[in-house]
Amino acid sequence: MKFDLLKIKNILETQVCSVHNQIPNVSIIDDKIQTIPCCENFGVELSKIAEQEYHKQADLSIQSMLDEFQAKFQ
């Protein structure tokens, strides 16, 4: 399953640290997203946001496959 890393990167780049009012440095290296946050708490928050987006994309992909499969057998 391929994830839309650019979409996740864009989502992370719009986040702002509530303590330091800074945005993270986000880059895509190979098939991974690397974030450089201003503090550890912000890094944890970014990880949670990225994980939620991964799950959302996986759910949509699985639903699409199921719909395709059902369409073949109707």
Enclosing domain of residue 31: 5-72
Tokens 């499969």, located at residue: 69
- Predicted TM-score (pTM) of the model is 0.84
Residues 13-58: tens digit of each pLDDT: 999 999 999 999 999 999 999 999 999 999 999 999 999 999 999 9
Query: What's the number of domains the chain is made of?
Result: 1
pLDDT (0 to 100) of residue 74: 78
Contact 24, 36 (CB under 8 A): yes
At CA 57, angle to CA 59 and CA 25, rounded to 5? 150
Q: Residue 2 above 90 pLDDT?
A: no
d(CA 16, CA 34): 16
Q: Residue 1 above 80 pLDDT?
A: no
Q: Residue 73 above 90 pLDDT?
A: no
At CA 51, angle to CA 7 and CA 55, rounded to 5? 80
